[in-house]
Chain A
Amino acid sequence: MIEYIKGYLSSGTTPGEAGNMFWATVYILLVITGVSVAVLCMNWLERKILAHMQIRLGPMRVGPHGLLQPFADALKLLIKEDIIPHDADKFVFWSAPVVVTMTAFTTFLVVPFGRTHAVTDMNIGVLFMLGVSSLGVLGIIMAGWSSNSHYPLMGSLRSSAQMVSYEIAMGLAIVSAVLMTSLQTGTGTLSMIGIVESQAAQHTWFIFKFFPLGFIAFAVFAIAMVAETNRAPFDLPEAESELVAGFHTEYSGFRWSLFFLAEYSAMLAVSSIAVTLWLGGWMRPFPNWLGGTAWDMAFSFLPALTFFVLAAGCFLGTIRMPKIPQFRVQTIGLGTFAALLGFVGLVLLVPGVRVRIQDIYWFVVKVAFFMYLYIWYRGTFPRYRFDQLMKVGWKVLLPTGLGVLIATAIWGLMPQLSAAILGVLQ
């Protein structure tokens, strides 16, 4: 039994590949908790960052700097009355949030947080992710239709049209990245891990490959993914000022929180695809420029350092707290949080952990960058109108994606082409 458990650790592959069901289960549980915690953190961060962009403070009451606000919200949603409209189609109404959440979580099966840190490695990983995440639209249509109300219906219709049309541009961008994987070896791969390894083998992230082709493909994907997840400025399905709350107008309590969970995990999922395909997945930055074991060693201290910086920030906050009795609990809370962060930083210094945590750290940092972008868009842009959204999707992103795909193919074949032309000339 112990051998079985240890077997995976030394295998150097994912649990799925190693056929180790114990670790696969552990990873699934880890991913579910990890994503849920990430969604909670995102909830707090979004409110804080958006608030600071808008010269507000954001949540400040529940816990120091509102740190416990997401938990309070979650608790409130759980104990809230669960309302199903009288004329709703009860079964569909009930199953819609389940479908949405299931699909959002299932996509994480193939997300490689590191070389060995993924539940499994499928040879059709990218396809699987696209397929499953596009199933999410089904849940949204179900929600809108079963509510038997006008606003949700319009929201879900908008959503389905939007997601279907942006998926094409997204797919084209992905294909051009997949095409790049085949350049070195001659055989491309759809496996998420394979794609990252191909970037390692070619010594470049695909965003810089065939500059600017890789970057354009990435930009197409980055725009399409915002539309795909129904976020500002493409948040028409839940456009607050037009459709009240769009497809989830009639939902409340726990069911609503499932939609919330699904939306944020979908954001994490598509960001993971972007990171894997164009930003080198779990690889650390500057492997060419700052290569070598010494630099590897130096970079491996960064996770711990990040936590120390966060801890120092919290500690500074503790010092700056007003020294009055009303703030005592908050001060102690923030101090404890700082200590916790510092402790995590210390754990990350342990050699075994330090080496293993590397991949996950860089992956999370890159995904966090996209999450920040999502918040930034929301603070800056007004909302597109439906016809304009379609125009951007079909008349801008789709031709661009197609053009990039063809250009990538031609550029990739350049050595063979030039050889052939030279051969003919000679």
Chain B
Amino acid sequence: MTDSTRTDYLDLDTKDETFLDATELVLNMGPQHPSTHGVLRVILKLDGEKVLGTECVIGYLHRGVEKIAENRTYAMFNPYVDRMDYVAAVSNGLGYCEAVEKLLSVEAPPRAQYLRVILTELCRIASHQVWLGTHALDIGAITPLFYCFRDREEVLKIFEKYCGARLTTHAFRIGGCIYEAYEGFEQDCKKFCDAFLPKLDEYEELLTTNRIWVERTKGVGILNPEDCIALGVTGPVLRASGVKWDLRKAQPYESYKDFDFEIPTGLHGDTYDRYLVRIEEMRQAVRIIRQAVDGLPQGPIMAKVPKVIKPPVGEVYHSIEAPKGELGYFIVSDASTQPYRIRVRPPSFVNLQALDKMVRGLLVADVVAVIGTLDIVLGEVDR
């Protein structure tokens, strides 16, 4: 453990010898704190309640996933990626499988692609539900959390029926899917879509026009588009700042080009806009699921992939639009059964950089709101 009174790693604007100045206070938020979403540690330098600067200390959940990959075969490493962003495990698996497929120059058959889209969009909804519940909880509204978790359960039930696991699904394999859609999969998805939209309205009823919610989120943690791009922020955080960048449209992967959906963007780049963007994304996800279920083609679900995966020498970077932003995999192959190096570009890690920029000059209560709105998962930040 590091000592909270140590100052050498505090890169703050004003250089002080000590923190004995009576007007300043160094507050250590986390790693055990109710609203740092796991084990994030934020060292806050405060003037009363005003934040003068922050310093994120990460690594409390570091498991060396990228290093583990070097000692596993391509297929064996697949379940590990589920443990990074465990809230959106399906998306992680999709990104990895696609990256390896790109390396192998194979493409999943159409039916597998549609199944993948359905499951990742369901996963996007589940991830956003966890975000909404915890974000609202951080701001003090406890009830939405239970509503969100109640409805997330329906998504998890579909996952469970499809592949047996609820959280760390390992739903996809390199070259397609290993499980055929179970009997009644389409109906389940459609039923979920029909039931979910009114429930989304229910969440909105609790929050969108709630005076306190609006006051707490409007104008808080503003990120302008230039800063977003400079910091490499992606996902809903970027789109809420008004940049229409979504990899599903910009570099369509899987069968996303077949579907008709909108990319919601915000105007002000504040916490309220990010909230609205994510809510709208859930609606769009429902739209995509409905189209994909209706157009689910017949055919094989697995491409021809050798039993022992030995990609040719080379490197590949492939990224997908995970619920939290751009999730990229950079894989270097030395033509052996194990990757030479894997580097993950996790959206949470990159988005977390924006924290300091967003909270300077705000109050302590806003720090919590901004951490919530960035939608970070520490498993992915630390890997």
Contact = CB atoms under 8 A, between A and B. Distances in A.
A381 B141 contact: yes
A154 B28 CA distance: 13
Interface string B1-42: 000000000000000000000000101100001110000000
A385 B363 contact: yes
Interface string B131-154: 000001111111101110010000
3 pairs of A and B residues whose beta carbons are closest in the complex: A383-B140, A241-B35, A382-B141
26 contacts: A50-B142, A55-B146, A55-B147, A56-B146, A150-B25, A150-B27, A154-B364, A241-B34, A241-B35, A241-B137, A241-B138, A241-B368, A242-B35, A242-B364, A379-B142, A380-B206, A381-B140, A381-B212, A382-B136, A382-B139, A382-B140, A382-B141, A383-B216, A385-B215, A385-B365, A386-B365
Nearest to A53: B143
B140 A239 contact: yes
A295 B219 CA distance: 57
- Interface size grouping (class) on chain B: 20 to 34
B112 to A, nearest CB: 37
Interface string A349-392: 00000000000000000000000000000111111111110000
B34 A240 contact: yes
Interface string A230-241: 001101100111
Contacts of B105: none
Contacts of A151: 27
A382 B34 CA distance: 16
B71 interface: no
Given A383-B140, A384-B215, 18 more contacts: A54-B142, A54-B145, A55-B146, A55-B147, A150-B25, A151-B27, A232-B140, A239-B365, A241-B368, A242-B364, A242-B367, A242-B368, A381-B141, A381-B210, A383-B212, A384-B216, A386-B363, A387-B363
A383 to B, nearest CB: 3
B49 A386 contact: yes
A56 B150 CA distance: 10
A242 B33 CA distance: 8
B366 interface: yes
Nearest to B145: A54
A378 B142 CA distance: 8
- Interface size grouping (class) on chain A: 20 to 34
A54 B206 CA distance: 12
Interface string A42-69: 0000000010011110000000000000
B279 to A, nearest CB: 16
A201 interface: no
Given A54-B142, A242-B368, A244-B34, A385 B216 contact: yes
B139 A54 contact: no
Contacts of B365: 236, 239, 242, 383, 385-386
Interface of B is mostly: helix
A236 B147 CA distance: 24
Contacts, number: 83
A234 to B, nearest CB: 10
B139 A241 contact: yes
Contact of B33 (A50, A53, A232, A244): A244
B261 interface: no
Contacts of A158: 49
Nearest to B147: A55
Nearest to A245: B34
Contacts of B86: none
B213 interface: yes
Interface in B40-55: 49
A148 to B, nearest CB: 13
Contact of B146 (A54, A235, A244, A387): A54
Interface of A: 50, 53-56, 150-151, 154, 158, 232-233, 235-236, 239-244, 378-388
A54 B150 CA distance: 10
Nearest to B372: A241
Contacts of A150: 25, 27-28
Contacts of B146: 54-56
A241 B147 contact: no
A384 B210 CA distance: 12
Contacts of B139: 241, 382-383
A233 B147 CA distance: 19
B364 A384 contact: no
Q: Which of A241, A379, A387 has most B Cβ within 10 Å?
A: A241
Q: Which of B28, B141, B142 has most A Cβ within 10 Å?
A: B142
Given A382-B213, A382-B216, A384-B215, A241 B143 contact: no
B363 A241 contact: no
Nearest to B139: A382
A150 B364 CA distance: 12
Contacts of A381: 140-141, 210, 212
Interface string B221-264: 00000000000000000000000000000000000000000000
Q: Which of B28, B363, B364 has most A Cβ within 10 Å?
A: B364
Interface in B331-367: 363-367
Interface string B63-78: 0000000000000000
Nearest to A388: B215
Contacts of B368: 241-242
B212 A384 contact: yes
Nearest to A54: B146
Q: Which of B27, B49, B136, B366 has most A Cβ within 10 Å?
A: B49
Contacts of A387: 363
Contacts of A241: 34-35, 137-140, 368
B316 to A, nearest CB: 41
Interface in B181-231: 206-207, 210, 212-213, 215-216
A131 to B, nearest CB: 29
A55 B145 CA distance: 11
Nearest to B369: A385
Contact of B212 (A233, A235, A243, A379): A233
Nearest to B134: A241
Contacts of A53: 143
A311 B138 CA distance: 40
Nearest to B26: A150
Contacts of A54: 142-143, 145-147
